Amino acid sequence: MKEFDHVRLLTNKYIDEGIKYGDIGVILEDYGDGHFEVEFSDYRTGSGFTIVLSSFHQDELEFVDDETANKIMNASKSKEQYDFSKHIIEDNDE
């Protein structure tokens, strides 16, 4: 993962801050220690207002390609349920 990549949140521990599992954010900075500064915006209403701008550990995030991120965000705008199982990313670098 690198700066300006779309990422999907893989936890619900930030639900009180306004983001939940599956929400899409953008990496703004890679701190180089497994942490990333990520912005989560209000893409559901199209306002673009920042909901959360904070540091997240790499284990809480998953890279999402631009096409998939756009599909997820557009499905959320129309209140459709997005099937994440269609876009499982396998890590073959082990």
CA angle 40, 1, 63 (to 5 degrees): 60
DSSP letter assigned to residue 87: G
Q: Is residue 1 a contact partner of residue 30, using CB atoms and an 8 Å limit?
A: yes
* Domain locations along the chain: 6-79
pLDDT tens string 12-33:
999 999 999 999 999 999 999 9
CA 55 → CA 19, 84, 93, distances in Å?
13, 24, 24
Q: Could you identify the residue written with the tokens 């207002």?
A: 49
**Domain at 6-79, CATH from 3.40.50.300, 2.30.30.40, 3.40.50.970, 3.50.50.60:** 2.30.30.40
Mean pLDDT is highest, among 42-46, 54-58, 64-68, 69-73, for 54-58
Share of the chain above pLDDT 90, in %: 61
What is the gyration radius of the CA atoms in the chain, in angstroms? 13
Q: Is the predicted pLDDT of residue 57 greater than 50, yes or no?
A: yes
